Amino acid sequence: MTRATLHALKNGLRVVLVPCEAESVAFGLFIASGSRHEPAKLAGISHLIEHMLFKGTPTRKPIDITRAIEGRGGNFNAYTSEEATCYYAHLPSEYLSEAVEILADMYLNAAIPDGEFAREKQVVIEEIRMYSDEPDAVAAENLQRSLFPKNALGAPVAGTPESLAPMTPDVLRRYMRSHYLPKNTVAVFAGSFDESAALAIAELYLGGRCTAAKPLAFEPVDLDMAPVAEVSRSKDVNQTQLAIGYRTFGIRDERKYAATVMDAVLGRGMSSRLFQELRERRGLSYDISSRMHFFADAGMFTITAGLDGAKLGLAMKTIDRELSKIRERRVGATELRRTKEFLVGNFRLSHEKVTAKMFFYGSTMLSFGRLVTPQEQIDGISAVSSADLQAVAQEILRPEARSVSTVVPR
């Protein structure tokens, strides 16, 4: 597996170097600032900042930023999640210095011009409205809100048109000054590069700002608070969208490996139990899958499907029967071995991409505060036993921890 090393700039910003054989290099800035760090009155500000960083700096127009990366055959993008914001570029390795300079300029010197701000805020509002027209997105958003009531984890990452409306450029600038800080940030280099040169480039473009910072706080999830059991919306759609969720423990819990294997047994891929039972044997749904998602102090296991509303009751009974089976009977040795091989193989194949390496090291550094190696993940999955899997299924798949969200035809 690839050897990664951790370094720190003079101002405390952490740098992860992941050299490997490739024609390209990926560079990313990961900031421990996401939607759950926001006060309610500023809901969506992290996502809006992400958009605004592409709108220029005092020395670069938006088109200059775009051409500098895309003009070299590269691509760059960003995302905002509940607990982080990331900006990254992927391009031929000889252009690494330019990529770091540009992303550092965006990160440190975003202009947030008034005219661009007004336009981009409307773009984000239209993005929110676009997702509100997608029934699967509505079902998923309502499910997460139901699993984490009265907590920022349950709020949409993009905020709402009402929360975005009063925001101003000055509000965004102040928020960035208190969140986009060296000790809250991890820079990751992955691909073909000289390690000494990469550290020198990072120090040159990112090492200047020295600001003391406390870890960003968020309201912990009250695991004793019961989730909302059921929520339903009606829309002009042909299918019923179903989303079932169970609240779980957080990412630092060692049971996460067993939970990941349980997820794969139930709903990852065409060989999974839910896919085989609901689609292949009964024809109840074209696509059904599950997903395990971990946050710092909690998580969620979700099952999603689109189906004929008249068959919703039968689908729920079939899903419940599969969940009961995995709680009550241990997974056989052959199925367990096959599932673990699927997870490990999928993980190894994904790490052939330099961008996957970058995302892995950036996200795990923010979650654990240390280097987590791919081998550590592989060993964790490989060590899961049938007893471990059954125990975690009994812990997670409890009726009192469950929510059901549907979007039904109007």
Give the burial string for 234-245 (b: 16+ CB within 10 Å, else e): eeebebbbbbbb
Q: Rounded to an integer, what distance in angstroms lies between the CA atom of residue 159 and that of residue 343?
A: 34
User: Is the same domain home to 170 and 234?
Assistant: no
Is residue 410 packed enough to be buried (19+ CB in 10 Å), middle (13-18) or exposed (0-12)?
Answer: exposed
Percent of the chain at pLDDT > 90 equals 93
User: Is the same domain home to 238 and 164?
Assistant: no
User: Is the same domain home to 198 and 245?
Assistant: no
Q: Rounded to an integer, what distance in angstroms lies between the CA atom of residue 68 and that of residue 304?
A: 40
Reduced to 3 states (helix: H, G, I; strand: E, B; else coil), residue 383 is coil
User: Is the same domain home to 201 and 312?
Assistant: no
Classify residue 297: in a domain, yes or no: yes
> Could you read off the pLDDT of 230-287 as tens digits, one per residue?
999 999 999 999 999 999 999 999 999 999 999 999 999 999 999 999 999 999 999 9
pLDDT at position 38, please?
96
Whole-prediction pTM: 0.94
User: Is the same domain home to 155 and 267?
Assistant: no
Q: What is the mean pLDDT of the chain?
A: 95
Task: Supply angle C-alpha 402, 294, 330, rounded to 5.
Answer: 65
pLDDT at position 410, please?
87
Classify residue 392: in a domain, yes or no: yes
pLDDT at position 250, please?
96
Structural domain that includes position 33: 5-206
User: Is the same domain home to 119 and 257?
Assistant: no
User: Is the same domain home to 168 and 314?
Assistant: no
> Could you read off the pLDDT of 388-400 as tens digits, one per residue?
999 999 999 998 8
Average pLDDT score over residue span 296-314: 96
CA dihedral 308, 246, 370, 81 (to 10 degrees): 50
Last residue of a domain, one of 140, 171, 206: 206
**CATH number where 312 lies:** 3.30.830.10
Structure token pair of residue 403:
């929510």
Classify residue 337: in a domain, yes or no: yes
Classify residue 404: in a domain, yes or no: yes
pLDDT at 1 over 60: no
197: left (phi over 0), alpha (psi -120 to 50) or beta: alpha
E strand or H helix that includes residue 387: helix 386-396
The residue written with tokens 């079939």 in the block is: 318
User: Is the same domain home to 77 and 184?
Assistant: yes
- CA nearest neighbour of 301 among 379, 375, 394: 394
Classify residue 221: in a domain, yes or no: no
Classify residue 212: in a domain, yes or no: no
pLDDT at position 209, please?
74
Classify residue 220: in a domain, yes or no: no
Are 45 and 112 in contact, with CB atoms under 8 Å apart?
A: no
Are 334 and 386 in contact, with CB atoms under 8 Å apart?
A: no
CA dihedral 371, 84, 138, 396 (to 10 degrees): 40
Distances (CA, A) of 111 to 58, 59, 117: 6, 9, 10
Q: Rounded to an integer, what distance in angstroms lies between the CA atom of residue 212 and that of residue 235?
A: 49
Specify whether 50 is catalytic: yes
**What one-letter code names the amino acid at 181?**
L
pLDDT at 128 over 90: yes
User: Is the same domain home to 191 and 98?
Assistant: yes
pLDDT at position 214, please?
65
Query: Which of 21, 38, 50, 400 is labelled catalytic?
Result: 50
* Domain total of the chain: 2
CA dihedral 97, 102, 106, 111 (to 10 degrees): 140
Q: Rounded to an integer, what distance in angstroms lies between the CA atom of residue 338 and that of residue 185?
A: 38
> Could you read off the pLDDT of 134-177 as tens digits, one per residue?
999 999 999 999 999 999 999 999 999 999 999 999 999 999 99
The per-type count for the chain, helices as H runs and strands as E runs, is: 15, 11
> Other C-beta atoms within 10 Å of 72: how many?
15
Q: Residue 52: what are its φ and ψ, rounded to 5°?
A: -70, -25
**What one-letter code names the amino acid at 403?**
S
User: Is the same domain home to 190 and 267?
Assistant: no
User: Is the same domain home to 72 and 201?
Assistant: yes
pLDDT at position 211, please?
67
Q: Rounded to an integer, what distance in angstroms lies between the CA atom of residue 209 and that of residue 55?
A: 21
Classify residue 68: in a domain, yes or no: yes
pLDDT at position 215, please?
67
User: Is the same domain home to 179 and 238?
Assistant: no
Bridge-based pairing state of the strands 185-191 and 402-409: unpaired
- Name residues whose C-beta falls within 8 Å of residue 15's C-beta, 6 or more positions apart in sequence: 6, 7, 8, 9, 186, 187, 188, 189, 198, 199, 202
Look up residue 220 and give its DSSP letter: P
Last residue of a domain, one of 145, 172, 206: 206
Average pLDDT score over residue span 348-359: 96
